[in-house]
Structure formats: C-alpha cells, structure tokens
Amino acid sequence: MAPKKALNILTVCAYYHPAFIYGGPVPAAHNLNRALVKSGHSVTVYTTAANGTGDLEVPTGSAVMVDEMPVYYFKRWWFGRAAKPFSLFLSPAMGKKLAQLRPGDYDLILSHAGFTDPNRMMAKAAQRAQIPYFYYSHGGFEPWRLNFKRLKKKVYLGLLEGKILQQSAGIVVCNEAEIKSLEKMGITAPIKRIPWGIDRLEDLPKPERGELEKLFPQLAGRPYVLFLSRLHLMKGLELLIPAFARVALQFPDWRLVLAGPDEGGYRQVLEGLIEQTGIGDRVLLPGLVKGDDKAALLANAEIFTLPSFSEGFSISISEALGYGRPVVITTTCYVPEVQEWSGGLTVQPDIEALAEALRRMMADEDFRKTCSQNAQRLAAEHFTWEAVTRESLAFYSEGMERHAARHKIMQPRDDVISQVSCPNIHRTP
C-alpha cells in the first residue's frame, strides 16, 4: 500500500551525483530520488563532496539545488595536502548536521552509505529522533562482495553494521543472493529485492549511428560488443577479453568497447591482457562515458555484455534492456529475468562459456533481433522508474507502520538488539 500523504524524505549517501567515479550507486540513488520527487514527495540529500581522491567542485555545508532537490555536500575530513583516500567518507560536518535531527523533521530516511561513517552517524541520529530508516545495500551482501576484504567486513559487521541493519525499518537489496547472506547472519529486519529503474523507454535518448561515428570514429562501419561499467576486478574483464579473443578471428569486423572509469589503476592490467591476447586493434577503451557519448554507445551496440563475478543490480543491464540490446551476462549478475524473458544469454562466469555465448549472438542476427524485442518488453514491465517507485513506496509504508507501532509499545533495548544483531556472522559464505 502506498503512503496516503506526501512524504518528507532525507537521503543519506557517502557520495552522490555527479561523483560517477564510484559507479552505479551514484545514478541509482539520484534517479530514485528524482522518481520520488516526480511522484509528489520531497527529498533532501546529505552527502560528502567525495570524488575519488579529490572532491567535487561544489559549495559545501549549504543546500545546492540539484534536479529540484536540496543537496548538502559536506567536506570530508583529511589532514595535510596529500590526496584523500578513495573510500574515506569521514565528515564531522555531516555528523553535526545529522545530530540536529528532531522527531518529525522527516518521515523517513533512505541510507545509501553501507559500511561507511555517514551510515553510522545516520543510524545514531535516526534512533535518537525516532525516524525510521531504510538501508540500501547496493549489492554489498552478495557473497563475492562479502568475501572481498572479508576480515575487515566481518569485524565491522560485528561491531557496527549488524546493529544498523537489525534496527532498520527495512533493507532494500538487489538480488536473492543478498537475502540469503543476510538471513545467514541472523538479520531479521524486513528485506525486499527491488531493482533499479530506467526512464520510460520513449524518453530514452537514441542517437543515430552517424552521431555515434562522429563521437567514436574507430567504430565507423563496425558492429561492436559493449561493456559499460567500472574497470574493476569484480567486473569479469579478465574473462571477457580472452573470450572475445577466442571469437575475434571468426568475426573480423566486430569490435569490443570497454567503457567505464578506471578504478585503482586496473586499466593498466587490462591493457597488458589486451596486448597479450593480440586484439589491441579490436578494442576501444574510451574511459568514463556519460550524456550523449553513453547514449550513442548504448543505442547502437549490437550486443551488451557484463560478465561480472558480483553485481547488486546493474543499472547498465537495465539500460541496455531498455534500449533493446541483446545482453550476454553471467549468473552472478543476478538478473534472472533476462533468461526468463529470453532477452539474451546468461552463462556461468567462465571464459569458454562466455566465448560460446558471444559466438552464438554474433553469428545470428535473427536471434539478436528476437532478444532485442524481448529485452524491451522486459524493461517496460519490470525496470521503469514508475514500477520501481510504486514498489518502493509500498515497502516504505509498511516499514513506517511497523516503526510507529513498535515505538508506541516500547523503545527497543540496546542490550537485547546487540545480542541478535549478527550472531552467525562467521557463517557468511
């Protein structure tokens, strides 16, 4: 059931639009906020000015209007003149602002800041002000992600994050694997899988092929496979490059586009692998793409691929489906709808399986056309912001009702909550 009145929502993020260097969570959080505003609700954002090892060039400490929303960018704490750590989000200024929250200031809080200091400060402020908060996981509890820096996360979950999860009014996850991980930890807060959305299909920009070739002359007259995500170890590029190399001789006209920002110098590793496999003249690395460049690549790609070892819910996949691109993804992208709707091929994260899927898709134009039609139907049914917003608001409403009922009866006891916050964390896969 959707809320009966317009909601006043506070969103807390560790980083925010336009810090696209942090990947999918940035457009995900911003576009969800835009969709909520479009539905008649008001949204305020507290975030840091983080932009990798630097900061966004934005005013800090006071509201900046971004797409009809007041956004407060707060300075990160750091010492000296050295570059800030990529994942440092400590902000005393944000903590001070959150500490000023009082009951009734907001109807609910949406947190996109898991495993960070802003999340800790948000939870403390929300508990004090008795404002229900909803925790967005962004794929953080998918098994591969949990095993990445496992010891650090295990300690953090036991000390802080487990309690934050347990006290939430609801947890929004991207896939079923996360639900299983959270249940193994003993988390009993309500959990719901809600995908990220895309604009209405008729509103998606669709640059013509000629515009693409002006932007990327290397693709003139060439069909191409598009990868669009961060250049990061977990994205499966060390599978994709040799997989494409295996089929490259059979399809000499095809190109491979690896579009996305470099993270931690990983591009250099990929360039070495591209040289080693002998496909340097077949691969384009345009870096971070957005706006017209991104739309042109998506609108004209023959195939979209994302062979990740771990995904929450990839916005790039939903965008590719919206553009009617046949997709080749791995099972660990956790989008079972692709297989169910025959919008493409889903394979194990394995070089040979990926190569065979690419070969089949590249060789059969009729198959690609069928997948394209199915992909657009799937996107229209499940992945538009209208559908996502309806589902989200219903979940918020249920959580707010539970929160109100609980606080009318009794306040939660910290000593009891701490005992159940994460009793089985050692069992996390």
According to DSSP, residue 20 is labeled G
For 134-138, what is the mean pLDDT? Answer: 96
- For residue 173, what are the CA distances in angstroms to 49, 105, 140, 193, 284? 25, 26, 9, 5, 33
In angstroms, the CA 426 to CA 402 distance is 30
Beta-bridge mates of residue 257:
226, 284
The token pair at 354 is 């990926």
pLDDT band at 1; cut points 50, 70, 90: low
- CB of 228 closer than 8 Å to CB of 289: yes
At residue 191, what are phi and psi to the nearest 5 degrees? -125, 135
Write down the pTM of the prediction: 0.75
DSSP three-state, residue 223 = coil
Please report the pLDDT score of residue 153 as a whole number: 82
| Domains of the chain listed by start with CATH number | 8-197+385-427 (3.40.50.2000), 201-382 (3.40.50.2000)
- Residue appearing with tokens 């953090």: 156
Is the peptide bond between 336 and the residue preceding it cis, with omega within 30 degrees of 0? no
pLDDT band at 2; cut points 50, 70, 90: low
pLDDT greater than 80 at residue 16: yes
Please report the pLDDT score of residue 237 as a whole number: 97
- For residue 42, what are the CA distances in angstroms to 62, 95, 317, 422? 17, 22, 29, 34
Task: Catalogue the E-assigned strands of 104-168.
Answer: 108-112, 133-136
Average pLDDT, the chain: 90
Please report the pLDDT score of residue 193 as a whole number: 93
In angstroms, the CA 161 to CA 245 distance is 43
According to DSSP, residue 12 is labeled E
pLDDT, tens only, 291-329: 999 999 999 999 999 999 988 788 899 999 999 999 999
In angstroms, the CA 369 to CA 386 distance is 26
pLDDT band at 64; cut points 50, 70, 90: very high
